[in-house]
Amino acid sequence: MADELIKPHGSDTLNPLYVADSAKRAELEKEASTLPSIVVCSQAAANAVMMGSGYFNPLTGFMGLEETLSVADKMQLKNGLFWPTPVVNVVQDASAIKDAKRIALKDPNVEGNPIIAIQNIEKIEEASDEQMKHVAEKVYGTTDEKHPGVAAWMSVGKTFISGPIQVLNYSYFDKEFPETFRTAMQIREMIQKNGWKKVVAFQTRNPMHRAHEELTKMAMKAMNADGAVIHMLLGKLKKGDIPADVRDGCIRKMVDLYFEPNTAEVTGYGFDMLYAGPREALLHAVFRQNMGATTLITGRDHAGVGDYYGPFDAQTIFDEIPKDALLIDIYKGDHTVWCKKCENIVMMRDCPHSNEDYLMLSGTKVREMLAAGQALPAEFARPEVAKILMAHYQSEA
């Protein structure tokens, strides 16, 4: 059965770093309590969860400085395998663990900082300010610290701790989102159980409005897909983004009411948003392939923030990487909107009409309307979804 699905990235089978054997895990937890320890940053904890869940296959641990620079400059691991973004454990101060060979990594996002993983130390290296800026420039396309991804990268420290890890838990994700958080292994099993062969993945960090719903359906039709995995980010976002539990409720409501039965699954993954635009789109493709999807939808301004990236940069970057870098297909979506003349949701590139015929609402306008208790136009958002969002914004007001 397993070989019917798309192969994971860089290996024949998935290699999740979570220690699934409960006896072995209990033994490691006991050992971890005796090891020198360090509280890692939120991004490193999320990286551990992604490696534990099989999403970052075939990585075996955190990258060192040389590999980080190789990924930044060439999008390649030391062994030549395609990889678009650094996966690192960077800290301000490693003095507490400087002579250790094996350390416990503590979770900054859970009360009491429980141990999330054990790491074997290969190297502890100090990056220069120039190297940190160079990586930011390559990965984020800017060194502007107003960019939330750059701000996070430049603030966590310059000390790289590299080496393989064994993951002991999935942080807060499986506890806070038990119905939604799924590992890459679980999604592969779900795809097989559903009997799906062609699977479209939709990435979201927001609730899905009608345009997103239609984009997913357009991609399913174009790719002749059996099903869609709506795969939402459950980790840290920037200020003002909608909390994961509210998004989850909105998306589930939409799928229940507006998708054909057994054609869409709502799931989530434990990662902090990078806002790295094109590079993050590539990373999204890597881990969607690992979970068994055959197509990733990349929309307009995919994984972007502000005006740092052009609207289609995250699509054209797929034309710039080697043809054999990934097995997953990319469905490139244009801006989808309600056209008053077509009386339908359309992709702008396929529609003969112009901007004045489109229903366009900015995020700010949507938030203002919801906070004021005003219904969103039915052409823009499903009323059942808008109701959930309105309750959220009014509770925040």
Cite the active site residues.
205-206
Nearest CA-CA partner of 9 in 67, 77, 73, 68: 77
* Two tokens, residue 350: 């396929």
CA distance 5 to 196: 9
Instruction: Give the other-Cβ count within 10 Å of 130's Cβ.
Output: 8
DSSP codes joined into one string, 95-129: GGGTT-SEEEEEPTTSTT--EEEEEE-SEEEE--H
Nearest to 285 by CA among 334, 321, 243, 244: 321
Would you tell me how many other CB atoms lie within 10 Å of the CB of residue 377? 14
Six-digit token string for 24: 């072995």
- φ, ψ for residue 307, nearest 5 deg: -110, 30
Task: Give me the sign of the Cα torsion angle 233, 234, 235, 241.
Answer: positive
CA–CA dist 315, 336 (Å, integer) = 15
**At residue 164, what is the residue type?**
P
- DSSP states along 199-227: EEEEEESS---HHHHHHHHHHHHHTT-SE
Residue ranges of alpha helices (H) inside the chain are 22-32, 42-52, 65-74, 129-140, 148-155, 173-176, 184-194, 210-222, 244-258, 278-290, 313-316, 363-371, 383-396
3-state helix, strand, coil in the chain (%, to 5): 40, 20, 45
- HSE value, Cβ hemisphere, 13 Å, CA-based, for 262: 7
